[in-house]
Amino acid sequence: MINTLLFDLDGTLLPFDVHPFMQGYFERLVPTLVDHYEPTAVTAWILDATQKVVENESPQLTNMEKFRRALFGGNVDDESRVWPIFEQFYRTTFEELRHLTHPTKIAREICRTATAKGYRVVLATNPIFPDIATNARMRWAEIDDVAFELVTTMENSHFCKPNPKYYLEVAEKVGAAPSECMMFGNDVQEDGAAGYVGMHTFLVTDYVIDRNLGTFDFDQQGTLSEVLDYVKSLPTVSI
């Protein structure tokens, strides 16, 4: 029986088109690093480091530790000079990306309906952002006061989507069997991978991402509004 609902954030509970958002992200981040790196190289540098985090399956390192190692290669001086720039960016300029998102009150209603019915609710956003950036996007989506059992971030996660180990770690942390979980998300590959570990899956179709790198059989699919209808139809549970 399903008793735990996992929700993606970007493109799901916080609707937006990923391409304009990421373009705006790098347009604002790159200038903050011009004193340390050639502007034309910054985007590739960060994307390469992010990919290394995704590929690194070491359970001993958090995604944050993996990311900083990938960026700076153990150079303590570079890290001490540059990492505070990232932190300052997320505290200030990152907020300028809010206008590229399309918040809806449906997201909050989905979460509140689920918790009122007794379900564990997890914000299962791909943990490639630090918690300060995740908290900002939760605030934009108006779900920052939802009683999530877990919010996955760089600091508390050891794997990334679409690695099945990400989903197993989430289930373990909240004390649920994978078969008791349903993953709601807009990314065919990243969110569909939850099915590999036995989770139920719901493809949210408003802002679908499909890289055509393999297909998944989702148990359900529909718009965010239809997600709300689905959650309303679920039975009350007692965990």
What range defines the domain where residue 38 resides? 19-98
Euclidean distance between CA atoms 57 and 66, whole angstroms? 10
Average pLDDT, the chain: 96
Does 167 fall in a domain? yes
- Does residue 79 sit in the same domain as residue 135? no
Q: What are phi and psi of 145, to 5 degrees?
A: -105, 10
pLDDT for the residue 26: 97
**CATH number of the domain residue 110 falls in:** 3.40.50.1000
Q: Which two tokens stand for residue 31?
A: 């200038």
Does 194 fall in a domain? yes
- Does residue 110 sit in the same domain as residue 221? yes
- Does residue 188 sit in the same domain as residue 108? yes
Residues whose CB is less than 8 angstroms from the CB of residue 170 and which lie 6 or more positions away in sequence, other chains included: 6, 122, 124, 150, 152, 181
Name the burial class of residue 204, with classes exposed (0-12), middle (13-18) and buried (19+) by CB atoms within 10 angstroms of its CB.
buried
Encode pLDDT of 157-209 as tens digits.
999 999 999 999 999 999 999 999 999 999 999 999 999 999 999 999 999 99
pLDDT for the residue 145: 96
Does 238 fall in a domain? no
List strands edge to edge, sheet with 181-185. 150-151, 120-123, 4-7, 181-185, 200-204, 220-222
pLDDT for the residue 217: 87
- Does residue 180 sit in the same domain as residue 223? yes
pLDDT for the residue 84: 96
- Does residue 89 sit in the same domain as residue 179? no
- Does residue 194 sit in the same domain as residue 206? yes
- At residue 155, the 3 state secondary structure works out as coil
- Does residue 27 sit in the same domain as residue 61? yes
Reported confidence tier of residue 213, pLDDT bands at 50, 70, 90: confident
pLDDT at 216 over 90: no
Does 182 fall in a domain? yes
Does 221 fall in a domain? yes
Among 122, 205, 136, 213, residue whose Cα is nearest residue 169: 122
By mean pLDDT, which of 32-46, 102-116, 137-151 is the weakest?
32-46
- Does residue 68 sit in the same domain as residue 162? no
Indicate the pTM of the whole model. 0.96
Average pLDDT over residues 63-76: 95
pLDDT at 215 over 80: no
Last residue of a domain, one of 74, 98, 122: 98
Does 217 fall in a domain? yes
- Does residue 156 sit in the same domain as residue 58? no
- Does residue 92 sit in the same domain as residue 156? no
**Segments in the chain forming alpha helices (H):** 18-29, 39-55, 63-72, 76-91, 105-116, 131-140, 164-174, 188-192, 224-233
pLDDT for the residue 13: 98
Does 211 fall in a domain? yes
- Does residue 162 sit in the same domain as residue 193? yes
Last residue of a domain, one of 78, 98, 118: 98
Euclidean distance between CA atoms 133 and 208, whole angstroms? 22
- Does residue 122 sit in the same domain as residue 50? no
Reported confidence tier of residue 55, pLDDT bands at 50, 70, 90: very high
Last residue of a domain, one of 67, 98, 129: 98
Is residue 82 a contact partner of residue 36, using CB atoms and an 8 Å limit?
Answer: yes
Name the domain count of the chain. 2
